[in-house]
Amino acid sequence: MSFTKQNLTNGTPGDASQINHAEEQYDAVVADMAAGTIPVKATALTDTIAAARLPTRKASAYLSAKGGDPRTTNGCGPATKLELSTNKIMRVGLPFDPSTQEYVQFSYAMPEGWDGGDITFIPYWTAASGSGTVVWGLQARSIDDNESMDQAFGTAAEVTDTFLVANKVHKGPSGTITPAGTPAGGELLVFQAYRKQGTLAVDALLLGIKLEFNTAYGD
């Protein structure tokens, strides 16, 4: 942090240089807070800081294949497990058909400090063989207390990734979605992911989806 202390004698009027110094230090504090780099010792927190003065930060969450619920209608297969041979890593993935568009849903309660804005997503996936591309889509609905769960999803975003090598992690490109409803911190979000037909002619295994979103600095 670039803030430096300058003492004034009690009762002595400040001159122009001292006032300029105070303005510079104010600007430095504002810049450091905006960058999220202002250090504060726990022992110094003896009062409160207005939440609006704290910067937001980028938070993340991971929707694992283990927590996905395949839809009853055109759902993907249930999560499958495979113990990889050498180091016994358990590969857990949701299998999606290459020719039929299939769906899975996840539920996640957003942090209270979430700003209700757009959410970036990154699919993690793999396959056992083949070559070609996979298209992953995601959409979401925000549901508050005493709201019906049977409501429409928001507009989906889709990303395309190319298969590399069997049983290697594939981290897809990022996409951005706007959840339907009146999104706000603390609400339950239902995410719906799907595989759209690409050129990979075998099952694609969705390992999970990473979410990134803006939330309050204290979350």
Distance CA 106, CA 76 (A): 13
Say what the pTM is: 0.77
Q: Is the pLDDT of residue 123 over 60?
A: yes
- For residue 51, pLDDT beyond 70: no
Number of other CB atoms surrounding residue 97 within 10 Å: 15
- What is the arithmetic mean of pLDDT over 83-89? 95
Measured torsion, CA atoms of residues 114, 219, 207, 75, in degrees rounded to the nearest 10: -40
Continuous segment of H or E residues that includes residue 201 = none
Q: Average model confidence (pLDDT) for the chain? A: 89
| Residue 191 three-state SS | strand
DSSP letter for each residue of 137-184: EEEEEEE-TT--S-------EEEEEE--STTS-EEPPPEEE--BS---
In the chain, CATH 2.60.120.260 sits at: 57-216
Q: Looking at per-residue confidence, does 93 or 33 come out higher?
A: 93
For residue 3, pLDDT beyond 60:
no
Average pLDDT in the 107-119 region? 96
pLDDT band at 26 (very low <50, low <70, confident <90, very high): confident
pLDDT, position 32 = 72
The CATH number that domain 57-216 falls under is 2.60.120.260
Residue-level pLDDT at 1 = 47
